[in-house]
Structure 1
Amino acid sequence: MLDTALKFLTDELNTYLLTQTGLDTVKVEMSKLVNEEGKYAFELDTIAASIINIEEERVFKSQVPEHIYSNGQHIVLEPELKLNLHVLFAANFKVYEQALKYLSYVLTYFQSHPAFTSVEYPALDPRIEKLTTELQTLNYEHLNQIWAFIGGKQLPSVIYKVRMVAIQGMVPSSIQLPVLEINTNLHGQ
C-alpha cells in the first residue's frame, strides 16, 4: 500500500507538471534520496519523492476486530493499521532557480488538491479510501537533522504528511463457526 499511495501521488504530480509546462523532461519519481556512496540516488533535473517517516495514526485507530463471513466461515481479522507518511520532495537541478520553480509547482499542486478519493480520482487504488496532504513546517534544526540523517547535502525540498494509508492483513486471527440461527423464548423461564 505504501508504494501504491506514493506512486499515485507522483503520477498525479507528473500529470500536473506536464499540463503546466507542456514539457515532459522534468519528472517526479519515487526514489531513495542518497545511495550507498553518499551521492544523490536520483537524476539531475528530477524531483525525488521519498518516504522519510511512517507513523501510526492513533486518533482514528480502531480497537475492534473486523468480522467477515467468507466461504461458510466467520473470520476475525485484526483492525487495520492506519498510517501517515512523511514524504520529502527534493528538487535536484543544476540551475537553482529551476529547482525553486519546480518545487513551487509541487506546493501549488498540493495547495489546490489537498485531498484525494477514489471517487474523484479513479487512478487511486479503491482500497485507499482517502489521502490528504498537509504541508509540514520545520525549523532549521529539524531540517538539518533530516538531511544529516539522510546523508546528503541539502537540496530545495518540502515535506508533506500524507494521511491515511490503511493496511489490512488478510491472515485471520481466528476462524469461528458462523451463527446460522437465533432462537428466542418469550414464554417464561
Structure 2
Amino acid sequence: MLYPAIENIQHLLNNGIGPTVAIANIAEYTSGGEEQHDADILISLVNIEEVRLAREPRYVVKIEDELYPKNPAVHLDLSLLFTAYGAGYENNIRNLQDVIAFFQKQPVFRAIDITELANDGIERLTLELVTLSFEQLQQLWSMLGGKYQPSVLYKMRMLTIDSREEQPVIAIREVETILKRRN
C-alpha cells in the first residue's frame, strides 16, 4: 500500500508536469550508492507517522452472512521529499516550482477520479506542503547524509492499511450464564 501510493503520485506528476519524476532514496542517490535515474525530480519517503485519532475499534467485519476477524485499520501520514536533482540549479528551481504548482492546483486525489488509486485500494490521497525551519532542514539533510539540494517536503495524508483474515469465524448465537450462590 505504501509503494503504490507513492507510485501513483509519481505517475500523476509525470503526466501533469514537464520534468520527469522517479522514486529514489535521495540519501543513497547523492552518495552514488543507488542506481542513477534520468529524472529531474526524485521522490523520497523520509517519514511515516501513524494517525491514532482515526482508529476504529472493530474486530470483526460482516461480509454477506460471514463474520471475519479483523484488527483495526492503520492510518498513516507519509512525509515525501521532492528533490530537484541534476538539471542545473536554475532548472532545479523551475522543476520544484512545477511540483508546487501541480499540488497547489490539485492537493486531493480521489479513487472515483483516478482508476489507478481504486485499483490499488486507495480511497483518497491528500498532499499538504510542510514548511521546515532552517534548523529542521539542516537536520533532515544531515540525516540523509547529503548536501542540500533544492527540495520541498509534502505530507501525504491518510493512507489506510486495512486487512482481514481469510477464514470466517463462528458467530456467537447464544450465551449461557450459570449463577452460583456463595455461602
Q: Which band: TM-score by shorter chain?
A: 0.7 to 0.9
The count of aligned residue pairs is: 172
Q: Once the 2 structures are TM-superposed, how far is the Cα of residue 44 of structure 1 from its aligned partner? A: 5.9
1:152 alignment partner AA:
G
2:123 match? 129
Give, as a single letter, the amino acid of the residue that structure 1 aligns with 2:49: E
Letter in 1 for 2:83: A
Instruction: Give the aligned partner of residue 177 of structure 2.
Output: none
Q: Which position in structure 2 is the counterpart of 1:27?
A: 20
Aligned to 2:48: 54
1:28-61 CA distances to partner (integer Å, 9 max, x unpaired)? 1111113288237444652100110000012212
Question: TM-score with structure 2 length normalisation?
Answer: 0.84
Out of 161, 164, 179, the residue aligned to residue 167 of structure 1 is 161
Q: Given residue 49 of structure 1, which amino acid in structure 2 is its aligned partner? A: I
**Do 1:68 and 1:76's aligned partners in 2 also have CA atoms closer than 8 Å?**
no
Q: Can you give the 5+ residue segments of structure 2 that lack an aligned partner in the other structure?
A: 175-183
Asked whether 1:12 is paired with 2:12, we answer yes
1:75-126 per-residue CA deviation (whole Å, 9 max, x = no partner) reads 1200111100000000002421100001000000000001011111122135
Change (3 A) 1:66 1:48: farther
Q: How do 1:1-189 residues align onto structure 2 when only pairs under 5 Å count?
A: 1-18=1-18, 26-35=19-28, 38-39=31-32, 41=34, 42-43=36-37, 46-69=40-63, 73-126=66-119, 127-171=121-165, 175-178=168-171
Residues 40, 152 of structure 1: 8 Å contact kept: no
SS at match of 2:27: coil
Amino acid at match of 1:140: F
- Greater share of helix residues, 1 or 2? 2
After superposition, the CA RMSD in angstroms is 2.4
- CA offset at residue 27 of structure 1? 1.1
For structure 1, list consecutive stretches of 5 or more residues without a partner in the other structure.
19-25, 182-189
Letter in 1 for 2:27: V
Could you say if the C-alpha distance between residues 40 and 108 of structure 1 is closer, same or farther in structure 2, counting changes exceeding 3 Å?
farther
Distance of 1:13 and 1:142 partners within structure 2: 26
C-alpha deviation, 1:69, in angstroms = 3.6
